[in-house]
Chains A and B, each alone.
Chain A
């Protein structure tokens, strides 16, 4: 009844006393890149596993590409590709062998397998390495092979779980353009990440997850505007001074956060308004740097600064 590629309604997943996914509602429209952003432990990976029925929900309804899970999980998995967070390649095999085996597992007809393997190798820029054993590939190549493996059967939906974690900037750029190419070709992409920049650049819609549920959702720009404003004032100083500014901001009810050696005051554009209304901000606040608000500001404002 929906045209969503993915739809979760009230999904709950518990592991003993821990509730990893806690009444999650999520709709991923077809054909977009959807970013699932959240701190570690927010339930992103569990959500991904729910979508492949590698974890079974304790409650709620899950639909993937029109197939209801877990009953029709095989049909759903047949039409979707998964790129895992952890490298789970068979290190003993060559790229071509791995892709051939997975083409078979994804039920690509045997006549079409060599072409599918070739296409996947091309997408991932691994043609020259087709017959290299995985153990001898660099980290970036292995990650590209993981992507190729998830695309071998031309899926309509791709799940990417932390696709660029632990990669150097060059490889990350490469993967980003690959993801962008996918999206442009009409594939729905669901990507979980805790790299804010990644979500900001690639995702059409971002859902921020915290403690197993979505706490905010929208385009990156909308999220920034709603939760961090247009501008952020960053005030630098020694720790005691920062503590004082912290206190002052709390007292005034300004949305703010510690940002390394500075205190960042969000929605700074409205501060100027206060200043114009006669409050002597300059006395209370040492000079700071004003910069455009970004998704990181919104993210921290939403999920809090405390690290568990």
Chain B
């Protein structure tokens, strides 16, 4: 991870820029665009609804993409992982350090939509302080998911399938911009299986209040997802790193 921090020292301007600008664009486009048609969703002001929802999008983008691309590039192109595994480091430590670092970043970047939201009328609340932790847990799951994808991908172009077939639907069908309660039953069920949906709900309850029993369930899903993906990432990438 120390190596990542050094690398990040060189790249933080571009990484941070995209992490902040992307959710801002969603926020402006949806918040102001649709917000002019819809004023409230479930008794929540639409700008507040979107600002809290986009946190999950920001976390997803800040974790799944680095999980996929950084892993693939460092493993296949730069062969950095080969070099690192010749040291006392083992696969589990390597993958855990990489995903920890990505998810720490994702937790911080998850705050960006809230800050932008505040500028557009979201009222600050103590619950916002929980957001980096929610972002961290969610980010850990999605960073590990990215590593899993990198481990099974044959070429870097394979990521396009995942981006369009998995990640895009995931962030759209997560209650980010519109509630999933309007979906037909089957789609509703699928949305409930989406870990990102649970991130959205948890963030919304933390920021807008109140936190309830259901949030323990949301947290449990996020933790379970993170744990499952983390172990899967170690097994699958481990199989390809060690002959």
Contact = CB atoms under 8 A, between A and B. Distances in A.
Interface of A: 13, 15, 46, 49, 52-56, 74-75, 77-78, 82, 84, 86-93, 97, 100-102, 104-107, 149
Nearest to B82: A88
A88 B3 contact: no
A56 B80 contact: no
B148 to A, nearest CB: 21
A102 B87 contact: yes
20 contacts: A49-B243, A52-B85, A53-B242, A54-B243, A55-B242, A75-B88, A77-B87, A78-B88, A84-B79, A84-B82, A86-B79, A88-B78, A88-B83, A90-B78, A90-B80, A91-B78, A92-B11, A101-B3, A105-B88, A106-B88
B86 A93 contact: no
B120 to A, nearest CB: 37
A126 to B, nearest CB: 17
A88 B79 contact: yes
Interface in B192-243: 241-243
Given A88-B82, A91-B78, A101-B6, A56 B243 contact: yes
B2 interface: yes
A106 B89 CA distance: 8
A13 B88 contact: no
B2 A104 contact: yes
Contacts of B241: 54
A88 B80 contact: yes
Contacts of A13: 243
Interface centre among A15, A56, A101 (most CB of B within 10 A): A101
B154 interface: no
Interface string B56-91: 000000000000000000000011101111111110
Main secondary structure of the interface of B (DSSP, over half): helix
B86 A84 contact: yes
Nearest to A153: B87
B88 A77 contact: yes
Interface of B: 2-3, 6-7, 10-11, 78-80, 82-90, 241-243
A83 B83 CA distance: 9
Nearest to A51: B86
A84 B89 CA distance: 16
A100 B80 CA distance: 15
A84 B86 CA distance: 9
10 tightest CB-CB pairs across the interface, nearest first? A88-B79, A55-B243, A82-B86, A105-B87, A101-B3, A88-B83, A78-B88, A74-B88, A77-B88, A52-B86
B83 A107 contact: no
Contacts of B86: 52, 54, 77, 82, 84
A13 B243 CA distance: 9
A102 B2 CA distance: 10
Contacts of A74: 88, 90
B70 to A, nearest CB: 12
A55 B7 CA distance: 28
Contacts of A93: 3, 6-7
